[in-house]
Chain A
Amino acid sequence: MSKKKEAKKIVFESEKEMPAVPMSLGSMLYNKTGAWRNIKPVIDLSRCIKCGICWKFCPDASIDIVDDWPQINYVYCKGCGLCAEECPQKCIAMVEEEK
């Protein structure tokens, strides 16, 4: 399990390193989907009521709970805007990504 959680891309140099079947040996964490984003959610924690709704609806499991606060994981957040749309406090703004 711990091996699965490494954010490292597995690259095979030779068939000898490969298993005989196509089986997973690591997680998708290497794939930093934050790069897909054009707009990014920014939470105004001063207005956050900790309802957990943004965390609950994230299709990318990219909102973490850190010290009991929601925190966007920008490494993976694809910028779909679902959290901002569903936030009852409207305290998540979708901000243009600077590239």
Chain B
Amino acid sequence: MKKVIMGNHALSYGAMLSRAQVIAAYPITPQTQVVELLSEMCADGTLNAKFIKVESEHSAMAACLGASLAGARTFTATSAQGLALMHEMLHWASGGRMPVVMGNINRAMAPGWSIWADQNDSLSERDTGWIQFYCSSNQEVLDTVIQAFKVSEKLMIPSMIILDAFALSHTYEVVEIPEQARVDQFLPPFNPPWRLTPADPHAFGGLTSPDHYMELRYKLQKDMEKVPALVEETGKEYEKLFGRYLGQVEEYLCADAELVFVTSGTAGYTARVAVDELRQKGIKAGNLRIKLFRPFPFEKVRAILSRVPKVAVLDRNISYGHHGIFYQEVKSALYGQPSSPLVFGFIAGLGGRDITRDSFQEIAEYTLSKNRAEEEIVWIGVKK
């Protein structure tokens, strides 16, 4: 069934079709429609789930974790300040191996108050041990939720599904809503390898000495390393049933490109239009959109970018005192490779400023005119 829905509702439908059993959430702009629709679904019986209307995001994640450890499939959604408030519990989720799936609407961090798109909220949670997917269409949002549950539950690692504030969260697009029976076929009920039950009592998360802590973290990393292959495998299985492939990255005209943009989120969509325009002008541009950011898709990125002369990484975020975060990560992935491109870093679109086709024209002109990255950061659109 095709429906015209907003990005936030794509998250809700994804959670519904995945048969989330416990949802605990707290409202924050621009996430509210996600939980409004889910609470309606719970109220009218469309979704058989307990919705805990908590008093904070911290409690939202805490409640999700308790429910997950009790053996229930859990979902929540938040944004920016709410995600930051959850920070402690994000570590708890991964360290406790609780496969919660969460939608995060990328919104700039205050102050000054901003409700508009920016990736600093989710990227500040980069090191919390969550799988991170960045989406660029409502269809991708819905499809990612369902696949994220499968990947997360297989490895017992939580997943975050990330979409830009307004540019995606409030934008209506045509979305194919899969049939419930086929989703059930793809995603079986959650059956964790351990759970809280008096029938088999265990204490979870107790005091862990230096004798054991490191091994537990080693195991988390080893399982994290299995994610890319599992995303591919799960993606193929999903494609067979629903005809759409997710994967780790989206490659657009990179094979013969002299310049490849590295993008994420909705900017990745704009980049494709810019690539088409540049190609009409005779410039062989391409776009590599990172969908899976954690774990980082090293192999894909290396395979695609090592044959390209120039790469321009666009960041809608900044690590103050360093670079844009995708820029850091791409450079780190390419360092020491037998052949690697010249990589340039651009920051644009902070706090919801538009990233347009013109932004990419500017980036392309700059990149093609330089033989080395002269500036640590190239700012796009700052009123200097």
Question: Which stretch in B37-45, B205-213, B352-360 binds the other chain?
Answer: B205-213
Report the minimum CB–CB distance from A27 to chain B (whole Å).
10
Number of interface residues of B (CB under 8 A): 19
Report the minimum CB–CB distance from A16 to chain B (whole Å).
9
Q: Mark A5-22, 1 if CB is under 8 A from B, else 0.
A: 000000010010011111
Question: Are A22 and B223 in contact (CB-based, < 8 A)?
Answer: no
Residues of A within 8 A of B220 (CB): 20
Q: Mark B189-207, 1 if CB is under 8 A from A, else 0.
A: 0000110000001111110
Question: Are A23 and B194 in contact (CB-based, < 8 A)?
Answer: yes
Residues of A within 8 A of B218 (CB): 15
Question: Are B204 and A21 in contact (CB-based, < 8 A)?
Answer: yes
| CB-based A-B contact count at 8 angstroms | 42
B215 at the interface (CB under 8 A from A): yes
Number of interface residues of A (CB under 8 A): 12
Instruction: From the candidates A1, A4, A12, A20, name the one contacting B212 in the complex (CB within 8 A).
Output: A12
Residues of A within 8 A of B215 (CB): 12, 15, 18
Chain A residue nearest to B222 in the complex (CB):
A15
CA distance A21 to B98 in the complex (A): 9
Report the minimum CB–CB distance from B96 to chain A (whole Å).
6
Chain A residue nearest to B211 in the complex (CB):
A12
Main DSSP-derived SS at the A contact region? loop
A46 at the interface (CB under 8 A from B): no
Main DSSP-derived SS at the B contact region? loop
CA distance A19 to B218 in the complex (A): 12
Quick one: given A12-B212, A12-B215, A15-B218, are A20 and B203 in contact (CB under 8 Å)? no
Residues of B within 8 A of A1 (CB): 201
Question: Are B201 and A22 in contact (CB-based, < 8 A)?
Answer: no
Question: Are A24 and B206 in contact (CB-based, < 8 A)?
Answer: yes
Question: Are A20 and B156 in contact (CB-based, < 8 A)?
Answer: yes
CA distance A15 to B223 in the complex (A): 13
B310 at the interface (CB under 8 A from A): no
Question: Are B202 and A18 in contact (CB-based, < 8 A)?
Answer: no
Residues of B within 8 A of A15 (CB): 215, 218-219
> Could you list which residues of chain A lie within 8 angstroms of chain B, going by C-beta atoms?
1, 4, 12, 15, 18-25
* Closest A-B pairs by Cβ, 4 of them: A15-B215, A24-B203, A23-B202, A21-B97
> Could you list which residues of chain B lie within 8 angstroms of chain A, going by C-beta atoms?
96-97, 156, 193-194, 201-206, 208, 212, 215-216, 218-220, 223
